[in-house]
Structure 1
């Protein structure tokens, strides 16, 4: 017997403004075909002027609370994964706490860039297992449109804004892989690769800065490390790729997603793909994909789901859970 973190609810929010690839043709030497062939991205959402990461996170959180049939004060903690918080401090999570009208509990941000939601789920899972919280609202929310260099065709066409949320709740189980909930977690980072993906601003420069990426290097690391972390997490759970119902990867690039699925011997029919509609939403991409997959009736109760992501740091990891 043991306490396990099970999924109680899921929800997401996307800004109203949809930006098709063709919009970039007016300002950049690029085309819809160029963007699609290299990334699989067709469109993305951009936050409205004045629309913030915390506001999008609040909307996604409300959707998850509705899905779970819970009130905000029934949540013990909020863990929000983001690299684009509204302010240097306080945390976006505390802004969400206030926005939801939560008068109890605690809230904090996690920063692991595109791997942020995996790290946030791991945090929430550990707190539930340790008895520090019974219900945790885990959110990924980003406004990457605010850190783009609009003259760099290699990066600015790839990213989008949005938010997704998952509610994890403590439940007793036998510890078997057939039980619902988070079965295994695998987290990694390697700070030696900072230069291939970073933002050239912060308190050291006095600027917000822009995203800088060396795409070929990131691609090479991503395919290898994503497959390895998924295998590691499955091994910890005593499972194999054959047991997986759904791979829900970080939605950065369709070629990376396909290459990772191939290494896990999974057909694309078992992969939730949203990159064509959302672009790379960093820490928001996995909860967005989980929410869309659930809403479309694809992810069903009892399904074995593997999520994996890699981001700047480098930081990467995976979570194996039974829905």
Structure 2
């Protein structure tokens, strides 16, 4: 394995980014990085509580899972049928992220886009050998077709912006997977020992639940937790979680504060206060139709290397966010 790492830059990068899990995968694949990526994607997820044996940070498995999805370029690595993350769901989530993605875009002019049509066989400088290039070409074709049909969509992202958005999407989904594992392990504990779900008797954890509000229309909560136990005729307790794998480490104090406040305001606006739950399977737990009050909204950022560098800047930003958006509980994990 060491010989492979020293001899091949790709293998060295794979292990440097993925840590011990990637090193084990590379060993199992006998130095073949492509096979190692597949092995890593098929490995069993960590057992509940496994993050505790890794120093309590829970940050090791998320980057490796994101790395496998990013470097393979395969949407299949993001699909998890058992979790309800079918290919259709993953593509729908990616479409929402693309809609909100920042960065320069190409023209909406159909004639211009046709003249600038990318070629699968001729990627631009910097995209050679990148497995996401084929996905980008398909994305451009799909957006061109939508514009030809007269749909009110933006021009496509440029290649660099799309690649950055796609990597962020895979990383964010990996962090979400990790947090869902934590929530499920937490729910299995006696109520008095729980860290996240101590206000529930029998919490039911649901992912990517469609919720509707007049001002934000249909949105999808990363996680919605609803009381499954008896509630003596009262409406069930409902909490929502929004997970952000956002790099805040390089932001200056004012920008950090503005970003966290904006994220908290968005989480409250989309997933807080009163909303309508659209998932049919949750209807038996609702006492007064589909509209419920959300008792708590939690915005959880991925920590580790993404956490603000300055503890003072971090504390001030957290304090100001709680002050301006009191309906949202903000934390790093």
Question: Normalising to structure 2: TM-score of the pair?
Answer: 0.26
Bigger relative CO (Cα 8 Å, ≥ 6 apart) = 1
Q: Rg bigger for which structure?
A: 2
Question: Normalising to structure 1: TM-score of the pair?
Answer: 0.27
The structure carrying a bigger strand percent of its residues is 1
